[in-house]
Amino acid sequence: MRISVIGCGYVGLVTGACLAEAGHEVMCTDIDAARIAQLQAGGVPIYEEHLEEVLVSARKAGRISYTSDATEAIRFGDAIFICVGTPPREDGSADLSAIDHVAQQIAAVAQNSKLIVEKSTVPARTGQELNRALEAYSRGGSRRFAVVSNPEFLREGTAVFDFFHPDRIVVGVDDEAAGTAMQSIYEPILEHKFRCPMHQNGCPAEPKAEFLVTTINSAELIKHASNSFLALKISYANVIADLCEKLDGNVEQVTHAMGLDPRIGTQFLKAGLGFGGFCFPKDIQAFIQLAGSVGVDFDILKAAERVNKERIERFLEKVKRALWVVKGKKVAVLGLAFKANTDDIRFSPAIEVIRRLVEEGAQVHTTDPEAMEKAKKILPGVVFHADPYEAVRETHAALVCTEWSLYRNLDWERAGKLMARRLVLDGRNLYSPKKMADLGFEYFSFGRS
């Protein structure tokens, strides 16, 4: 099928690349002309594992192209995947102006009927509104736009893997034909008919992904409810970590044992600096807002959000307790991205920690394998190092803020010799407290004595 992708952020690019790799013809567009020029020149504007190789392969096969001309892109596809941003507004609700703008463009220039696939994360009832808007902007013409909600469950950093190995594909539709069309788009994924970049010798046997056809409102709710539930789990684990600190428990032991109960599950119970990124913080705000707008008080989610915001304070309290005076101290921060395997620093706890340390008068030296270029633009007065061992040289403390495996496997014996004081504050619980103590470090993490 011919597919247009509007919006070349990580969701748009991964969706476009993987659908092209799965055999569809894809044309991508974005209002950022520089981004399109970079893609046309063979560049990849974001760091996302396996994305480059999938884009290269799709390009070689002649199945993906890029244009900064939205009209060309809209006219190209039988299905248009809307992957534009829905950033938070002041009150936490999602700003849907980019989606509205795309609807106006589609109505203005499309020459035939199309499937309009809402991939951006949006509050429930956006699909209904999009339907109404498309009808209104089309002024009763003969073209038909079938709106579909197809929420994405892609994690940054493993988005290509997630696209090719989904546990479920959700499509919210108004009519059966739209559901059938979506099934044919995803058929190569469901049937494993693509060249998998991570498994050259064939993908391991796994249960076939469920293809779920729901109403549009349910599909939108599924996305927000899933992200919010995962955020709840993380905040729950973080409160357990606080309790472990007071009651002399070990949060890793507690959450591991909890997670072995299949009703709970082991994932998303890692305590630490809390969740960041452009999905969880904004999605739970938008969900709280949406619930409030229909008279449902989502107290439980508000608490999860509050717990998460307090993680930075908890961490800084530990830093201050350990350093006593922060002003004038040389401090290393390892990690800038909101999590490992991405260069995304949006709502990253590491960035907030650095800002607060700078405000307190610390000299901050930092490093990250992928996110430094983005961070340099927003962190004046901070010194950046490509080599983590250079970042910790002569420092009074090293703070670990992102769980990169590079830091998990750091040679602390070597790092310790370079530091002015052997003090590590671990915001991601990466190391064994005993091993760090054996190496002569003062070591502080979350929920472990």
Q: How far is the CB of 157 from ligand UGA (least distance, A)?
A: 6
Parallel, antiparallel, or unpaired: how do β-strands 423-426 and 397-400 relate? Answer: parallel
Give the binding range for ligand UGA (CB under 6 A) out of 25-33, 154-162, 205-213, 316-324: 154-162
* C-beta of 338 vs 441, nearer to ligand UGA: 338
CB atoms within 10 A of CB 164: 24
Binding flag, residue 305, ligand UGA (CB under 6 A): no
Please identify which residue in 234, 244, 301, 345 interacts with ligand UGA, judged by CB under 6 A. Answer: 234
Please identify which residue in 76, 81, 275, 443 interacts with ligand UGA, judged by CB under 6 A. Answer: 275
* C-beta of 346 vs 393, nearer to ligand UGA: 346
Binding flag, residue 298, ligand UGA (CB under 6 A): no
The CA distance from 154 to 160, in Å, is 8
Alpha helices in 295-440 (DSSP H): 299-323, 349-359, 372-376, 388-392, 405-408, 412-418, 433-438
Placement of tokens 């013409």 in the chain: 141
* C-beta of 252 vs 283, nearer to ligand UGA: 283
| Active-site residue, selected from the candidate residues 18, 28, 83, 279 | 279
Please identify which residue in 270, 314, 329, 365 interacts with ligand UGA, judged by CB under 6 A. Answer: 270
* C-beta of 172 vs 274, nearer to ligand UGA: 274
Residue 8 known to be catalytic: no
Q: What is the DSSP string of 285-327?
A: HHHHHHHHHTT---HHHHHHHHHHHHHHHHHHHHHHHHHS--T
Helix 280-293 and helix 216-247, axial crossing angle in degrees, nearest 10: 120
The H or E element that residue 104 is part of is helix 97-109
Please identify which residue in 66, 338, 412, 443 interacts with ligand UGA, judged by CB under 6 A. Answer: 338
Please identify which residue in 12, 127, 272, 416 interacts with ligand UGA, judged by CB under 6 A. Answer: 272
- Decide if 181 contacts 196 (C-beta within 8 A): no
48-87 footprint of ligand UGA as x/- string (CB under 6 A): ----------------------------------------
Q: How far is the CB of 250 from ligand UGA (least distance, A)?
A: 16
- First vs last C-alpha separation in the chain: 57
Placement of tokens 């599950």 in the chain: 265
Q: How far is the CB of 180 from ligand UGA (least distance, A)?
A: 25
Nearest by Cα to 305 from 250, 376, 231, 251: 231
- Decide if 270 contacts 237 (C-beta within 8 A): yes
CA angle 387, 393, 398 (to 5 degrees): 85
Q: How far is the CB of 272 from ligand UGA (least distance, A)?
A: 5
181: three-class secondary structure by DSSP: helix
Please identify which residue in 123, 166, 274, 447 interacts with ligand UGA, judged by CB under 6 A. Answer: 274
Binding flag, residue 154, ligand UGA (CB under 6 A): yes
Q: How far is the CB of 444 from ligand UGA (least distance, A)?
A: 17
What sign has the CA pseudo-torsion 156, 160, 166, 168? positive
Residues within window 117-146 making contact with ligand UGA, judged by CB under 6 A = 121
Q: How far is the CB of 323 from ligand UGA (least distance, A)?
A: 24
* C-beta of 350 vs 357, nearer to ligand UGA: 350
Binding flag, residue 211, ligand UGA (CB under 6 A): no
Instruction: State how far Cα 111 lies from the chain centre.
Output: 35
Binding flag, residue 339, ligand UGA (CB under 6 A): yes
The CA distance from 199 to 164, in Å, is 11
Give the binding range for ligand UGA (CB under 6 A) out of 49-57, 66-74, 272-280, 410-418: 272-280
The CA distance from 235 to 306, in Å, is 9
Structure tokens at 175: 């009519």
* C-beta of 11 vs 115, nearer to ligand UGA: 11
* C-beta of 238 vs 395, nearer to ligand UGA: 238
Using CB under 6 A, list all residues that contact ligand UGA.
121, 152-156, 227, 230, 234, 268-270, 272, 274-277, 279-280, 283, 338-339
The set of catalytic residues is: 279
